[in-house]
Amino acid sequence: MASSLAQLFVVDADSHWSEPGDLFTRLAPPHLKDRVPHHEVIDGTRMWVMDGEPIGRATAGAVIGADGNKAKAAESLQIWNVEEAHAGASDPKARIGVLDEFDIDAQVIFPSTIGLGGQGLSRGNDHTVREASIAIYNDGMAEIQEQSGRRLLPMPIMPAWDIALCVIEAKRVAAMGARGVNMTSDPQDLGAPDLANPAWDPFWAVCAELQLPVHFHIGASITGMTFYGQYFWPSQAEGTKLAIGGSMLFIGNARVVTNLILAGIFDRHPDLECVSVESGIGWIPFILETLDYEMFENAPDELAKLKKAPSEYFRSNLFATFWFENNRNRLPDLIEAVGEDRILFETDYPHPTCLYPNPLESVEAKMAALSTQARAKIMGENAKRLYRL
């Protein structure tokens, strides 16, 4: 039986690709085909190789198998090759079929094994190859968006090691119709200033001007994924390690949100929109309350420089995504604290915590506790406005 939520305009604000091996070589000029990222088997493991150097494992990063069944993450996530995952994980045409099956109108898509913030592409030694790889990826994503009639919205990634290049690439992808950008949370890992540095103001300015919301996915940096590998105690079972790492990655985006707010970025760029992706919303009210208290107690001089209380910036400049929460009927209280205009729906397809196989049915009872207006906003109207659909 179809969910009543299917009658709404539904946008999935967080999903992922299982990147195929020809993702970069298909569009690369002949002289770069053997230098841009591609799959190679090294010591029995399929790897992404860029300019002769391994940059990460090339697994499917998925738990939905080719047969359509959802597997245990410990048995699939870092084990399956792309061909073993569901076709919808890597094939845009098959992905549209998944959306039709799920009654989803549009879907925002992020990478998987090249780095959730594209940070894997910034590890190469040759700047020319790095720049070309990012441009090729973004060109391919623009092609997918156009061919899907803007039902698929893959977020372009930024050359985060260089602020000037980020400005140039943001302008370029905007001209191709991009509806946002995917940014690493820690460009200092790559040799650039950290995002609190005012040197990034030209990038924030162009994103605000061109209506490009800046997305910060959980684990979207080398620093973030290093934390992921250290959260759990080594003696835990493999599945438990994934559960601990995933849980802490959600909350880890509090680090991104607090830094964005307290850096004064939104005072200097009041029209800038940022999205905390795949982080949930349960921790946000506490963190916002904490910011007000901690800044009052420990940084009163810096607090006085902000134009409003730290807790007020979320409702004006930030979004977060919701999918599995409210098993204890707390959703109405969370909505009141965060704001119904600032929450987006997501499925996380085809990753371990994805709502599968019936995403709308899985949240229908939770959404029933909200007003008709709040349901419509969270399921799609907020995203429709944010992404200019």
How confident is the model over 64-86, as pLDDT tens digits?
Answer: 999 999 999 889 988 999 999 99
The mean per-residue pLDDT over the stretch 120-144 comes to 93
226 against 318, higher pLDDT? 318
Give the pLDDT of residue 371: 93
Confidence bin at 160 (pLDDT 50/70/90)? very high
Classify strands 45-50 and 38-42 as parallel, antiparallel or unpaired.
antiparallel
Question: What letter does residue 172 receive in the DSSP assignment?
Answer: H
The domains of the chain are located at 4-31+87-386
Residues contacting 230, CB < 8 A, separation 6+:
none
Confidence of residue 335 (pLDDT cuts 50, 70, 90): confident
What whole-number distance in Å separates Cα of residue 137 and Cα of residue 121? 10
pLDDT of residue 222: 86
CA dist 48 and 64 (Å) reads 21
pLDDT at 329 (0 to 100): 64
Q: What is the mean pLDDT of the chain?
A: 95
**pLDDT given at position 262:** 98
Per-residue pLDDT averaged across 267-283, rounded?
97
Rounded to whole angstroms, the Cα distance separating 295 from 118 reads 33
| 318: Cα separation from own chain's centroid | 14
Task: Tell me the percentage of the chain whose pLDDT exceeds 70.
Answer: 99
Q: Which among 156, 145, 152 has a CA at the least distance from the CA of 95?
A: 152
Q: What is the pLDDT of residue 326?
A: 67
**0.85 exceeded by the pTM?**
yes
Smallest CA-to-CA distance from 280 within 247, 321, 314, 242 is with 321
At the second CATH level, the architecture of 4-31+87-386 is Alpha-Beta Barrel (3.20)
Number of H helices, E strands in the chain: 14, 11
